[in-house]
Chains A and B, each alone.
Chain A
């Protein structure tokens, strides 16, 4: 790995002014579980690495004004250990709990995951299904990017060179709801998702379905959502919605899976995730982390 300048500012403003000055020659470092490997393999060669782990403002999970704010420094482990996330955002909780391994979850972050923006990312589809927003700052000011607009391509985001993601903002749901994240890996152990499905339903028969690893970015299955909207779910409706969800994705064939199998699995996963979400809303079952596939 090439040597680099390592800086660890204690305030957001300092980090932002550095980034404004250095632009794409500098990279922000959070857990580093993605960035480190890209640098080690020589895919990314930053002149400067700005470690954000000295900035306290980026810490913490907070519920305020109808939203839950997750700071950029929040690790997967902190998400898993948060009662708030577990109770109010079970799909995000399930996605967090299936990322890599404990040793990676202890340092890796949700924000780092979405900034890395690989198609397989676990963090993307729950955020899309929640209609979450990505909180962005630069030395010029701040803005919110809807999660659905944040991802622009494989490893590409709407972020400008001088911008930093400070956290994500997830609307709190009112009333009863049920959620599921289901992942297709090659086995139970650590694996990158070959497909992932996040489903959020509520007792007014609103359905939100998002998928990852089956298109260049995480995507919402809007046609399927429209079909379901306002209807009470049953198995045959779930099957029709699952079929329709395939129209929103464009999986590829690679060594992990063929396109055909990904399509097949997405159909099964969307159907089962829908059924399980409704069942969770109504009965509390299946329990969190129950493997649906």
Chain B
């Protein structure tokens, strides 16, 4: 079955022809040229494909493209209209990633967390990012960066 799916992608309306069985990840990457969400496992376990749908982090590899009709979909590409965000700057400063393949997914999950909870504790940070796998870093610099963001937000009264 074929569908024309209309949704907002990174702030702009898009319209794309898909079959019912097409995965959001593939449609974003192959039909819409949005490549920051990555294929890592295909079953929603590694977090590399994470995008925000109506503000919530979702595994685009286990989402049907038809399901996002009328939704707001945001990938890493859509977060940076004004340059790197506070979270990204903290990740940069802390050398938070090594190979970097998991980085877009981490930024998306971290963005959702900070939107909901601007100054999380370290354990809240870990709880929120536990679905994003990284094989390189041991997560230390990711946590350090997020602690800095949390502290900064706290100081700013967020």
Contacts and interface: CB of A to CB of B under 8 A. Distances in A.
Contact of B21 (A2, A51, A77, A103): A2
Interface in A1-51: 1-6, 8, 32-33, 36-37, 39-40, 49, 51
A4 B19 CA distance: 8
A29 B54 CA distance: 19
A104 B131 contact: yes
B50 interface: yes
* Size category of the binding interface on chain B: 20 to 34
Given A33-B62, A101-B130, 16 more contacts: A4-B20, A32-B63, A32-B64, A36-B44, A36-B64, A49-B64, A51-B67, A53-B67, A77-B56, A102-B112, A102-B131, A103-B109, A104-B131, A106-B57, A107-B63, A190-B45
Given A1-B21, A107-B58, A102 B45 contact: no
Nearest to A75: B56
A235 to B, nearest CB: 29
B42 interface: yes
A100 B1 contact: no
B71 to A, nearest CB: 10
Interface string A100-125: 11111011000000000000000000
Interface of A: 1-6, 8, 32-33, 36-37, 39-40, 49, 51, 53, 77, 100-104, 106-107, 188-190
A190 B21 contact: no
Nearest to A188: B130
B131 A6 contact: no
Nearest to A2: B21
A58 to B, nearest CB: 15
Contacts of A51: 66-67
A51 B44 CA distance: 19
B1 A4 contact: yes
Contact of A104 (B44, B66, B67, B112): B44
Contact of A102 (B20, B43, B66, B128): B128
A77 B19 CA distance: 29
Contact of B62 (A6, A36, A77, A102): A36
B59 interface: yes
Contacts of B62: 32-33, 36-37, 40
Contacts of B113: 102
Given A5-B1, A6-B66, A104 B59 contact: yes
Contacts of B20: 3-6, 49
A49 to B, nearest CB: 7
A128 B44 CA distance: 28
Contacts of A53: 67
B120 interface: no
A82 to B, nearest CB: 14
B1 A32 contact: no
A103 B57 contact: yes
Contacts of A33: 44, 59, 62
